[in-house]
With several copies, the nearest count.
Chain A
């Protein structure tokens, strides 16, 4: 968050990419795109492009990570070297490690882990093109892939960010807004209960703006949730 900037990112209530403050970028979700994975999803969100694949429940490696009374979720978020303008070095950096970790924990709340003692459920998220909001995109795609794999879950987890640009609270920052904006708040919720399973914040929000951002991100998650279910229905339809 650069924070202070003279850049005009909103003009007459319309953002540079033509969206209103409470509008999502276009989202396209396709379930079941990979043959080998037990479940998979391809998601485009604005210009973000993400693949997610799921294997499991399977034996947990390394052994010392096994839990006697439940499965663990081993999520792994990586960005392709060509997914950003400057080439990213392959492998897990500190940012990817943190995201992988908090996403793993978010899923352990909704997956019926207690049904699969000692097992592992592997969730692999590959960001192949990145334009702000990739962790929300990856988490959303992974939820669909888990459902596509038939992994028992309490619910899916939609994830969406709210943010602040030019002192206005907006939904789903695009790349310029992320670079020159004032705050970014990615959120993931369990739609059926409203529980918060992922929340981060970078930037500057007054207490009132925080409340607005929570409201906006929550409504973004609910909108996304519809698209996720729609994608799964299409997929089942297609398979039938």
Chain B
């Protein structure tokens, strides 16, 4: 049987499952896979975290350097997010630059962290207009089994919560302090599978779904960032429903994130 036929069979199967509120791996349509967060494993990083979301595995490292602020925000630190779709994570990740997907992923994760004001950028100013801390969030995808958007945002948040400002190393102060964190954004990503909408898709589900919708909420239940992706569509009602579902479902991830801070 050709690849396309297999794919069509799988698509049909998954769509009928979803219609009944079921998933191939036994989950409900709005249920996350098991999540596990580890922190602090990289001693060369200012902060680090590994997130397992089902079999998806992302390692995030935070580096902090000193630089000059942007002209239009002389009193604020800066933040840069990049993702490395390492070839070992997925046969389809070419060693060459898989530009568009990787850039969309980086930018959506970046917006979730940035717009939630998770980091207190004003607290990263060392000398107004001259010297600020630049926070680099580097995400290393190690195993791609779907839903990189949520897994990366979670890994970034966990690594930031683990981060220390390296005052001593850079001669800024004689004590290192924790990176000040204002709030906790959680990203929830939905997939359109036939006429159903499912949460936290696996790679298999991603390969047959038509559209993606990501929404990030802060801990007060307010929206901070969103992104519709892929060449399918959602109805207006599906979008509004997904946003509500996100608020109801993101506590699994939120608890995991809280867990590491205790």
Contacts and interface: CB of A to CB of B under 8 A. Distances in A.
Could you say which of A102, A128, A130, A218 has the most chain B C-beta atoms within 10 Å of its C-beta? A128
A194 B239 CA distance: 11
Interface in B55-82: 55, 57, 59, 61-63, 65, 82
Chain A interface size band reads: 35 or more
A98 B115 contact: no
Interface stretch (B13-21, B22-30, B104-112, B173-181): B104-112
B33 interface: no
Contact of A199 (B169, B222, B239, B244): B239
B228 A196 contact: yes
A117 B55 CA distance: 33
Nearest to A107: B231
A35 B143 contact: yes
A105 B192 CA distance: 15
Interface in A71-130: 74, 76, 78, 80-87, 90, 94-95, 97-98, 100-102, 104-106, 108-109, 122, 124-126, 128-130
B111 A207 contact: no
B43 interface: yes
B61 A202 contact: no
Chain B interface size band reads: 35 or more
Nearest to B216: A201
B115 to A, nearest CB: 5
A126 B117 CA distance: 31
A202 B140 CA distance: 24
Contacts of B243: 207, 210
B223 to A, nearest CB: 5
Given A81-B61, A101-B103, A204 B91 contact: no
Nearest to A3: B117
Contacts of B100: 97-98, 100-101
B233 A82 contact: no
Nearest to A198: B228
Contacts of A205: 222-223
A203 B115 contact: yes
A4 B88 CA distance: 40
Q: What 9 A-B pairs have minimum CB-CB distances, sorted nearest first? A: A53-B88, A82-B61, A201-B226, A108-B231, A195-B233, A124-B88, A82-B45, A87-B63, A199-B228
26 contacts: A34-B143, A36-B55, A36-B88, A36-B89, A37-B89, A55-B91, A83-B42, A83-B61, A85-B44, A94-B103, A98-B107, A102-B104, A102-B228, A108-B231, A124-B88, A126-B88, A196-B228, A196-B235, A197-B233, A199-B226, A202-B225, A203-B115, A204-B115, A206-B222, A214-B240, A218-B236
Interface of A: 1, 3, 34-37, 40, 47, 49, 51-55, 58, 61, 74, 76, 78, 80-87, 90, 94-95, 97-98, 100-102, 104-106, 108-109, 122, 124-126, 128-131, 185, 189-190, 193-207, 210-211, 214, 218
Given A36-B89, A82-B42, 11 more contacts: A35-B145, A81-B61, A82-B45, A82-B48, A101-B100, A125-B88, A131-B44, A193-B235, A199-B228, A202-B111, A204-B223
